[in-house]
Amino acid sequence: MRADGVIVMQGNTDADFIHEAAHGYQHLVGEIELIQGGEKKAKYVDLGDERRAYQRQYMFKPSSVTGLRGKHSIHDFLDITDSWVESLKDRNGKTPYEGSSYENLRKR
């Protein structure tokens, strides 16, 4: 969220924006709190918030999720679980969602 309160969503693909729009909605209904003036930062984001964002992304474009590196392959949106989200590895082999909750919303 910019310092003026405008929510800025960044991504490379439409599927990325579907994911980020899910977080925007979560902010509007009070499930997470985007930090004013804190780019890519939010409070109270937990694995369930990320699971719902990835499920929504999957329903829009399955291949945008099935190619991600999680502990099992995804064949249905119900395969996207909290523990799958937690197991996701980024391109550097790190697990940005490890831990049940975290303060800083990573890129995804």
Residues 24 to 43 in contact with Zn ion, rule: CB under 5 A:
none
**Binding span for Zn ion by CB under 5 A among 26-34, 45-53, 69-77, 93-101:** 45-53
Residue 80 carries which side chain, given as an amino acid letter? I
Q: Residue 69's beta-bridge partner residues?
A: 89
Q: Binder to Zn ion among 18, 32, 53, 65 (CB under 5 A)?
A: 53
Pick the piece of the chain touching Zn ion (CB under 5 A) from 35-43, 50-58, 60-68, 70-78.
50-58
Q: How far is the CB of 89 from Zn ion (least distance, A)?
A: 15
Q: Is residue 32 classed exposed, middle or buried when 0-12, 13-18 and 19+ CB atoms within 10 A define those classes?
A: buried
Q: What whole-number distance in Å separates Cα of residue 12 and Cα of residue 38?
A: 20
